[in-house]
């Protein structure tokens, strides 16, 4: 597992992280015109992340408690083929390039391995081109599938897969 930069801590999410997660994701969405974080209607799990997500981790900056990054995972054992889904990978704009994404992704991959899930999948907003490059760097490949969410942001998402 890759080491975090000095001054950061990777840990399981707590429900007390709700405000920090919402601020983090809201800042990341703000990079893209028309991208809206609608917690009450579309992301209510962000109000109680520890109890709402199957597995979720945050990177916290030790000096001030800033939620500097996050990632979540879900086991899709009833799917064909069974897989783990990578969800909610975000890094605070002021912390991008600091080396936070790798330990977050490796933590999610280790969780999937522990659950016997070699296939990894994710869906990413078509606007998040920077994130697509990160996913491809970590071995995820676009499948060509696109889905529309019919949400307030009029989101369309690309599908990515990684075989461990």
Structural domains of the chain in order of their starting residue, each with its CATH number: 8-122 (3.40.630.30)
pLDDT of residue 145: 98
CA dihedral 36, 37, 40, 41 (to 10 degrees): 50
- Please name the residues in contact with 59: beta carbons below 8 A apart, sequence gap of 6 or more: 4, 8, 9, 10, 67, 68, 69, 70, 91, 95, 100, 103, 104
| pLDDT above 90 as % of the chain | 96
CA atoms of 46 and 53, how far apart (whole Å): 9
pLDDT of residue 55: 98
pLDDT of residue 136: 97
> Is the pLDDT at 129 greater than 80, yes or no?
yes
Residue pair 103/59 in contact (Cβ under 8 Å)? The answer is yes
> Is the pLDDT at 1 greater than 80, yes or no?
no
Query: How high is the mean pLDDT of the chain?
Result: 96
b vs e for 122-138, b when ≥16 Cβ sit within 10 Å of the residue's Cβ? bbbbebbeebbebbeeb
Phi, psi of 4 (to 5 degrees): -80, 155
How many other C-beta atoms can be found within 10 angstroms of the C-beta atom of residue 35? Answer: 17
pLDDT in tens, 52-88: 999 999 999 999 999 999 999 999 999 999 999 999 9
């Amino acid at each position: 597992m890759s080491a975090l930069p000095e001054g950061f801590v990777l840990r399981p999410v707590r429900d007390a992280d709700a405000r920090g997660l919402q601020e983090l994701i809201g800042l990341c969405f703000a990079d893209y015109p028309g991208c809206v974080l609608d917690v009450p209607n579309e992301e209510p799990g962000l109000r109680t992340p520890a109890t709402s997500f199957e597995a979720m981790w945050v990177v916290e900056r030790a000096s001030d408690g800033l939620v500097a990054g996050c990632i979540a995972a879900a086991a899709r054992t009833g799917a064909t083929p069974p897989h783990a889904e990578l969800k909610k990978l975000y890094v605070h704009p002021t912390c991008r390039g600091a080396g936070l994404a790798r330990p977050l992704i490796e933590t999610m991959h280790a969780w999937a391995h522990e659950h016997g899930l070699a296939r990894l999948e994710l869906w990413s907003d078509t606007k998040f081109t920077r994130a697509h490059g990160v996913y491809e760097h970590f071995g995820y490949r676009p499948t060509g599938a696109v889905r529309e969410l019919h949400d307030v942001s009029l989101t369309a998402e690309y599908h990515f897969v990684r075989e461990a």
